[in-house]
Amino acid sequence: MTAPASLGPGQVANTDNANYNSIVAGLKNVSHRGDSVDLSTFRLDQLLPSPANLSRYYRYTGSLTTPDCNQNVLWTVFEEQVSIGRLQLDLFVSTALSSAPGDPPVRMINNFRPTQPRRGRPVLASRDATVSAAPPSAPPPLALLSALLGLRLVLGS
């Protein structure tokens, strides 16, 4: 199930997304720092947009979201949102603890960092992305790589 078009970033759906069920079921086994659960039967493609919309995406080079925040990640952002249900999200929030087993529970909150400035990094759009393409102003190696991958350069803030 994908999110309705009215959902924006940071919003959740009123109904559960069945594709998250195996992850949500495993939450009870990973409630403390250091816990783990086997999700080897989980298919990551179940959390991707519908196959018809996989060709609508944007890419940019960025950094890890955890310290040391090394800039060695190629981020891919799909146009189509994949929803998560309110109850499913609440289970993530209420179950995820950063405390060690036996220690008083400490909820894992604010585990994100603010949006970072683009610092001149180009954002590339796939051929099927809906944002207008910018004129080709990328450096030759990037322009060549973009052409080979079927991407367009998108300018913006």
Q: What is the pLDDT along the chain (157 residues), one digit of tens a residue?
A: 333 344 455 568 999 999 888 888 888 888 778 888 888 888 888 888 989 999 999 999 988 887 788 888 999 999 998 889 999 988 888 887 778 888 887 877 777 777 778 888 899 999 999 885 444 444 444 444 444 455 555 544 4
Taking the whole predicted model, whether its pTM rises above 0.85 is answered as no
For 73-149, where are the E strands, in sequence order?
73-78, 123-126
CA-based nearest residue to 131, from 140, 122, 139: 122
Output the CA torsion 69→149→138→154 (10° steps). -80
Contact status, residue 88 vs residue 26, Cβ threshold 8 Å: no
